[in-house]
Amino acid sequence: MMSGTISGLSPRIHELRESVLESAEDRPGTYRMVGADGEHLYVGKSVRIRTRLLSYFRAADEEKAARIIARTHQLEWDYTPNEFAALLQELHQIRRWRPTYNVEHNREREYSFIKLTNGPAPRLLVTGRVTSDGARYYGPFYDRRRLREAVRELSDLLQLRDCAERTPIHFADQTDLFSHRPDALCIRADLDRCLAPCAARCTLAEYSRRVEEAQRFLEGDTDQPLSILYERMHAAAERLDFEYAGLLRDRAERLAALQAELVEMNGMSRGSAFLYPVRGTGGEDIVYLLGHGLVLDEFPAPDDDEGWDELREVAGERVGGVASYRQYLTPDNVPESILIARWFRRRPEEWARLIPLES
């Protein structure tokens, strides 16, 4: 008996420990604790499976590890080529089996997305669902209230409508010169916060340019909306209206934070893809194809330049077969995109190893 550890080390637990000592290796991988009825109690990962599993048998009685191993009737483990693969495999296994003792990845969180709608006069919306409706989706985000505020700022700055989808649209260049032009349906038009396509106050081309600017901002290709706010902020400060300048500063910070969060989800924008070479144990070097914030495929690492050229060609065809960004951004794969973004955020040296894949 080990002092301060799992009481008594019952024959069953002793047998589990012996199986680890005899069979487990110190390699990256995932492991599973299975209960008496075959239910999965816990799924974990480690870069040294053997060492990690043995630590459970040294846990003090009051520790979570001791409670898990006390209910375990079967130990299973799989090796992976590297830590990155173990991280992904752990996520997928947790979401498959919903183990009792897992907390992270085992909760259905409420995610929010920015939706740029389709149609003649697109709108920016906040939604909790991603559907195949022809719209563009950006995200995911956790804080819906903060997201709504940022989307409101962006819509106001670019003067995009926020009325109901069924609102009749009358562009200036699509209305007969002598026909009746309706009044704007909300006060945003009079406050210069909407181009008012409902009242023929803008052309289709004018509105489309604003929509394109919103798309480019959300994909990290322009800072124009922020520039507008900063110009207004400086003008307010020059006329000594510091209260309004402070309000504009707060609005700019919300928008900047929104864009930074989107850009951090590397690979989420349409068309961006990377090759990510990762060294493996025992020479199992892998190259992952990352796109849309997800692992689209994986390949054995090539041995020479010719092999790399062939890999780039194959990866390019794989990415080229992706019809659109929205096909990959779904609630089911949001956790993986967050996991990958967090991996590179916490490991800048890994980010530096990404190889952009030319489209």
269 contacts: CB under 8 Å, gap ≥ 6: 219, 220, 262, 325
Task: Give the mean model confidence (pLDDT) for residues 194-209.
Answer: 92
What is d(CA 123, CA 158) in angstroms, rounded to the nearest whole number?
11
What's the pLDDT band for 9 if we cut at 50, 70, 90? low
Task: Give the mean model confidence (pLDDT) for residues 276-297.
Answer: 88
**What is the share, in percent, of the chain residues with pLDDT greater than 70?**
87
The full set of domains in the chain, from first to last, is: 11-97 (3.40.1440.10), 112-258 (no CATH), 273-356 (no CATH)
pLDDT, one tens digit per residue, over 69-92 is: 999 999 999 999 999 999 999 999
Whole-number mean pLDDT of the chain?
85
What is d(CA 359, CA 350) in angstroms, rounded to the nearest whole number?
22
pLDDT, one tens digit per residue, over 229-271 is: 889 999 999 999 899 899 889 888 888 888 877 766 544 444 4
pLDDT, one tens digit per residue, over 38-54 is: 999 999 999 999 999 99
What's the pLDDT band for 28 if we cut at 50, 70, 90? very high
pTM: 0.67
Please tell me which residue, 155 or 294, carries the higher pLDDT value. 155
Residue of 151, 129, 146, 136 whose CA lies nearest to 268: 136
Q: What is the pLDDT of residue 348?
A: 85
What is d(CA 13, CA 5) in angstroms, rounded to the nearest whole number?
12
Tokens of 122: 């697109």
Please tell me which residue, 296 or 185, carries the higher pLDDT value. 296
The DSSP bridge pattern shows strands 124-127 and 112-116 to be antiparallel
Q: What is the pLDDT of residue 70?
A: 93
